[in-house]
Structure 1
Amino acid sequence: MYTAYIGRRIIDLYNEHRRDGPALSPHDFFDEVVFPVAFDDERYLFWPNNSPFAQPTYSGKRDDPDVRQRALADTYEKVAAIDEPLGHLFMGGMASGVLETTSGQVSTVGASANPDEAYCSWVGAMAGIGLKGGLSMLVDHDDVLLALLDGWFAYRSYLDQTPGLKGNQVETWNGHWICHRFGYDYRENDPLRDLKPRTTKSTGIKTQKWASVLFNLARALPGETPTVYLYSLGQMNTTVGFRQLHLPDVQRLAQLHEKLFGDVEGVSSRSLADMYDTQYSIYAACQQGTIGMRALQPDKLRDYMPGGRKDKMPTPTRSPNKQNRYRIFQTWIVAMLNNEELIDLTESTAQALKAHAESGEDTYTTEKRRAEEVLKAGHRREFLDALTAVLKEDDSHAEHFNKLADTIVKMPASDFPLFATLLRLKYTVFSK
């Protein structure tokens, strides 16, 4: 099971980078690291389903240190006898019978397990990065695994400093910790400073957006395309499998946003990860295979695309949130088109259409309607027909419109909706 592999990796990294003295075995690592930080408190770091720590005999009196020690002894006794990866002792393992909720993992092929692998699976389960949408992610990278290891101790400190906050959220914590640890404000001598995960009384720490995790991983692992494992462990285990994170795409999106809007007050790559909302859930992103630029399509962008769900025009706004959303739309479109020359083309086209719309004498004129017909066009032919109607009445931008028409004709049909949406957004900017 992959949790055991990741757990072994973390133990090896701990022995190499965090320990002075003889290397710890998986059993000793569990005894000296996992139990003290994760379970030797009435608020656990995570809930190991059906294990001794979760049994009513022990879990009902977690505030008693002696009870926690008995749960630990019971765990040692049961793990010592393990010979197959049963889920109550091997985190991420199979059910004990074909009628249980995770019985889909039961196979006639048979699978073996030993105590070392069982202890490693607990460590690996603690390394899952919780993502909004219900999945967790395991990342096999030294820097990420060491960061998560340090994050467990930070989580225990955070719980100690936050009375009343529910425990059992190490995966959710890991998502916030990764964003903080690889973000701009992390201080090694004061690791919890400026870390303020969103919380509620009922649910505790709120799960981090998957796009935010990707933006911060891209900062930590520039240019890399790690293969990650996505899953969910609970009463019913879910396995999505291995997917590749195309972090260069994510990094390019952040850099492009900085290039386009970095001079706007309050807008930078520092804030992009917090502002960014995606159209796709993490499940839908996984269905695309590689998780990269296409999976990061901004939420609500389709509302403004020709032929989209609402096919509506962006409206001028003073709302900072909506302005930031428009900027994110523009950044993603330019990145998808992969042609920065189109930025200048759409800007000059928007200015020309705006000039034509304002050339009439009345508030709402034929000229304005002609410009709007260009912006409302749902496909290339309709766009070119509307542009021709403008040219027949106003040749002041004839050279530019001819160049634009030539570009539209040569453009792949799949790119036109993106170009048209970018033009709508630029027109809105000049209309503000």
Structure 2
Amino acid sequence: MIAVNIGRTFLKAYNERYQTNYSAKKFFLEKYFPLFFDAEKYMQYVTNSPFVQGLKKGTPPTPTERQQRLAAFIEKIDRNDPDASFAIGFPSMEITATTSGQLTDISQPWIKEDVYLSWIGSGLGIGIQGGLSIFFNKGELLMDLYEGWNIYRKFLHTIPLLRGNQINTWNGQWIAHRYDHRRYDPSDPTTQFNGISAMKDGGLEISTQSWIAVMIGISRKWGDLQLTGYVYNLGQTNTTIGFIPFKIPQIKRPVELYEKYFGTTSKAEVDQLFGTAFGFTKACQMGVIGVSAMEPKGLREFIEQGKSPVYNEKDENKKLHFQTHQIWLLAMLNNEQLWEQARNFALLLNTYALSSDKGKKDKTNQVKTVLTAVNQKQFLESLITIVEEASDKDAYAEMAKLIHVMPKDNVPYFLTLIRFHFATISKN
């Protein structure tokens, strides 16, 4: 029933911004229903609700039929206790239904306004890849989502092939676009909007946005905010992940670091590379969404197996992946000084490897042994041979000391960062 609270927060913010005094019912009748349901293409599909019961595919209801459905909806609210057929997020009244888990024989008071609030709130879920949606109970954010409602309706009116019933999916695309200062133009909000894709049957649809694009967008506007999101899916079978903390400063950190070290060129493509190592559901299992959940795909083998990366400056796609991996490692370490320390040590190792006698690979192999270390013990043991032969023993001693005092959880990330720096240095 979190949709009720989302609707209440939104309505309060709406009334404050526009100096109105809408009740939930009045807002639903005057704003929500005309926008969402009083047209041939709906913006929302709620299973078993009066607005969709008996609808035949490809045959939209006439204006008269739409008003009849609205009347039936209001009558249900006036005469019945709320259930999932007309109150969003409420339990089914049928004990065998898939959404009957909340049933109880304890009489519970309810307010008719809550039903209308649940619908208003339901239109503010942010859909992301994986079939899930997120509620954020923040008035200003909800108002920014509301701003996109009219644009989605305009698209449905002006793009004949665009299918309806995608309000949550639209919200995900819209909020990522709305908070992207590189693309969003307040004077022309839809310019550079690229969230529409082709379907196999020749139609068009709103493509599902990634959670990372949504959260990076939110971090651009509220970089220091701590948000709690409610992650869910409402459909034939309801799915509840629950309340998940989103650490916005952590989510913002790798984005800022990338811009600092590599500039803004291709940054839009880079944003999409973060958070691809595993799905959003698995990320939620961490209990909190922060920089750990932003791990790029393909990096884990370098961290756990000591594999050395290959730097390819000519291949732009591989270069972006390489740089994204570097930045995520630095974000996990949460200490920018370690960037230069990792680079300086990589330079030191490269110089040592190049000092081998002509035709010999002994020093190169010693460096390879150091680079394959994935933990503190392996690293320190592999460094002994080099220290015995190196001329700059103090520099190696300083690195050994740094690794020795470093939190053990950070060591694999730092060692991997050294390997990435070594790859660029040795390539050049």
Pair 1:338 & 2:334 matched: yes
What are the residue-to-residue correspondences of 1:8-407 with 2, within 5 Å? Answer: 8-18=8-18, 23-57=21-55, 61-62=59-60, 64-84=62-82, 86-184=83-181, 185-202=183-200, 204-262=205-263, 266-268=265-267, 272-307=270-305, 311-317=306-312, 318-360=314-356, 365-393=361-389, 395-407=390-402
Identity rate of aligned residues, in percent? 34
The letter of the residue matching 1:248 is: P
Distance in 2 of aligned mates of 1:193 and 1:205: 16
Distance in 1 of aligned mates of 2:356 and 2:196: 51
Distance in 2 of aligned mates of 1:51 and 1:12: 26
Tell me if the contact between 1:306 and 1:377 (Cα under 8 Å) persists in the aligned partners: no
Tell me if the contact between 2:125 and 2:168 (Cα under 8 Å) persists in the aligned partners: yes
Q: CA deviation at 1:427?
A: 0.9
Tell me if the contact between 1:81 and 1:115 (Cα under 8 Å) persists in the aligned partners: no
Q: In the TM superposition, what whole-angstrom CA distance separates every residue of 1:17-57 from its partner, at most 9, and x where no partner exists? A: 246xx522222211211112111222211101100111124
SS of match in other structure, 1:228:
strand
SS of match in other structure, 1:5:
helix
Distance in 2 of aligned mates of 1:119 and 1:60: 28
Q: In the TM superposition, what whole-angstrom CA distance separates every residue of 1:347-390 from its partner, at most 9, and x where no partner exists? A: 01111222222333667822222211111123222222222222
Distance 1:363 1:27, change over 3 A: farther
Q: Compare 358-367 and 122-131 and name the one that shifted more.
A: 358-367
Distance in 2 of aligned mates of 1:398 and 1:161: 71
SS of match in other structure, 1:342:
helix
Distance in 1 of aligned mates of 2:12 and 2:337: 49
Distance in 2 of aligned mates of 1:109 and 1:284: 36
Q: In the TM superposition, what whole-angstrom CA distance separates every residue of 1:264-306 from its partner, at most 9, and x where no partner exists? A: x6144x6543342332422222222232122222222202113
Distance in 2 of aligned mates of 1:344 and 1:278: 27
Q: CA deviation at 1:110?
A: 4.3
Tell me if the contact between 2:270 and 2:320 (Cα under 8 Å) persists in the aligned partners: no
Distance 1:298 1:10, change over 3 A: same
Q: CA deviation at 1:106?
A: 1.6
Distance 1:160 1:411, change over 3 A: same
Structure 2: state its 5+ residue gaps.
none
Q: CA deviation at 1:102?
A: 0.8
The letter of the residue matching 1:252 is: R
Q: In the TM superposition, what whole-angstrom CA distance separates every residue of 1:291-328 from its partner, at most 9, and x where no partner exists? A: 21222222222021134xxx422112232222222222
Tell me if the contact between 2:42 and 2:164 (Cα under 8 Å) persists in the aligned partners: yes
Tell me if the contact between 2:274 and 2:295 (Cα under 8 Å) persists in the aligned partners: no
Distance 1:402 1:191, change over 3 A: same
Q: CA deviation at 1:343?
A: 1.1
Tell me if the contact between 1:82 and 1:114 (Cα under 8 Å) persists in the aligned partners: no
Q: In the TM superposition, what whole-angstrom CA distance separates every residue of 1:109-148 from its partner, at most 9, and x where no partner exists? A: 3444333111111111110001222221111112101011
Give the superposed CA RMSD: 2.2
Following TM superposition, the consecutive aligned residue runs of length 4 or more in structure 1 with deviations greater than 4 angstroms are 57-60, 361-364
The letter of the residue matching 1:376 is: T
Q: CA deviation at 1:411?
A: 1.7
The letter of the residue matching 1:356 is: Y
Q: Compare 154-163 and 173-182 and name the one that shifted more.
A: 154-163
Tell me if the contact between 1:261 and 1:267 (Cα under 8 Å) persists in the aligned partners: no
With normalisation by structure 1, the TM-score equals: 0.91
The letter of the residue matching 2:326 is: Q
SS of match in other structure, 1:243:
strand
SS of match in other structure, 2:16:
helix
Distance in 2 of aligned mates of 1:68 and 1:364: 84
Tell me if the contact between 1:165 and 1:201 (Cα under 8 Å) persists in the aligned partners: no
Query: How many pairs are equivalent?
Result: 422
The letter of the residue matching 1:16 is: E
The letter of the residue matching 1:336 is: M
The letter of the residue matching 1:225 is: Q
SS of match in other structure, 1:226:
strand
With normalisation by structure 2, the TM-score equals: 0.92
SS of match in other structure, 1:56:
coil
SS of match in other structure, 1:48:
coil
Tell me if the contact between 1:227 and 1:244 (Cα under 8 Å) persists in the aligned partners: yes
Tell me if the contact between 2:273 and 2:297 (Cα under 8 Å) persists in the aligned partners: no
Q: Compare 39-48 and 416-425 and name the one that shifted more.
A: 39-48
Structure 1: state its 5+ residue gaps.
none
